[in-house]
Amino acid sequence: MEYSNSGTLFDLIKTNKNLPIPMIRVIMRQILQGLSYIHSKGLIHRDIKGGNILLHNPIGSGRVILKIADFGVAKTKTGNGVNIQVTVIGTEPYMAPEFILGDGQEKVNADAKVDIWSLGILLYKILTHEFPFKINSLVDQHQFMANAVLIRPWTIADNILWDLLQKMLQFDRNKRISAADALNHQFFTGKQAEREITIEQNQLSQIAYTALTNGDSTVTQFDTKPTFVLPLTIVNKIPNLYIGMLNKKINKFKKKYKIEKHQMKNQSREKKKKEENQTKKYQNRRKEMKNKERKILKKMKELKKKNQIIKQRNNQEKRLKKNKGRKEKKMKFQQNKKKKNQKEKQKNLRE
């Protein structure tokens, strides 16, 4: 898979406790579109979670595209894919009931709807920042599956959204909605969804359409649809988030470095009082500490470099936008000049 430059959906969820519903709508639409395609090709992912959904911003596009990653545990369906033997694998909190209630069997009967359950759990987590069950142990999760009761949290006020979530988290896989049917749900096709389409989404989709007609292979037919477009301006916290995370790591290493240095000084004072045999141990320890120092400093440099790369990318995008604006102004000026010249010629001809 090609490089993705804007982190993961997990990063976004972790730092934004209240994502707006229109943004959630676009995120879910893109993921479901991806799952629908995967399932149509006879694949089951089996490990859908926030960390496996990558965010990518094609430079200069103003759009953010979600990509499903980590197909290391994906399963190819056989036959009609309705009832096949699937190895129980994935991330436990996101596993479907057919996996959890398999009574320890290595393989169970399952289909592509295990991915829909996992995505439903991910949607629940986006909305509430918790799982619909306690995650102290697999026993708690097993009990939740056995009871087959999904309680509506007070934080989910949107009835249409709750209806979609219930259909995705159906304990009976035969009643669970498919990716293709989910895309036709009222949450994506209703009047509210249409009203929430912004001017920016329309503009970005029009730019994508122009690029597609000009033969840009990086643009897909979905990028030309306003309902599919996730503007970068909405997700602009991600670069700042990365810078913040990198700064936190740098500060963490600095603190660790100071503590270890202080400990080293204390140990040196104590060891000077001890016998000559212990001085050798101190020298060895000192060498180890210096090696640790070098490693910490090296990591700090790497983190600073990453920080600089992110800043450079942001500056590059700003420059591209400025240049684009200047070109558009120049073109408008030239067009107006041509029109004036044509009018003057027409006047002269009439005279």
Query: And the tokens for 97?
Result: 């009931």
**How crowded is residue 178: how many other Cβ atoms within 10 Å of its Cβ?**
19
**How crowded is residue 207: how many other Cβ atoms within 10 Å of its Cβ?**
19
Judge contact between 84 and 111, C-beta under 8 A.
yes
The one catalytic residue in 11, 47, 111, 223 is 47
How many CA atoms, within 13 angstroms, populate the side-chain half-sphere of residue 65? 25
Q: How far apart are CA 32 and CA 115, in angstroms?
A: 10
Q: How far apart are CA 81 and CA 111, in angstroms?
A: 6
Judge contact between 46 and 89, C-beta under 8 A.
yes
Judge contact between 55 and 98, C-beta under 8 A.
no
Amino acid at 295: K
Q: How far apart are CA 274 and CA 1, in angstroms?
A: 59
Pairing label, strands 107-110, 84-87 = antiparallel
Is 47 catalytic? The answer is yes
Q: What are the two backbone dihedrals, phi and then psi, of residue 43, each rounded to the nearest 5 degrees?
A: -115, 145
Q: How far apart are CA 10 and CA 23, in angstroms?
A: 15
Q: How far apart are CA 167 and CA 159, in angstroms?
A: 12
Q: How far apart are CA 3 and CA 285, in angstroms?
A: 42
Q: How far apart are CA 255 and CA 311, in angstroms?
A: 25
DSSP H helices in 47-154: 97-100, 113-128, 138-147
Catalytic residues: 47
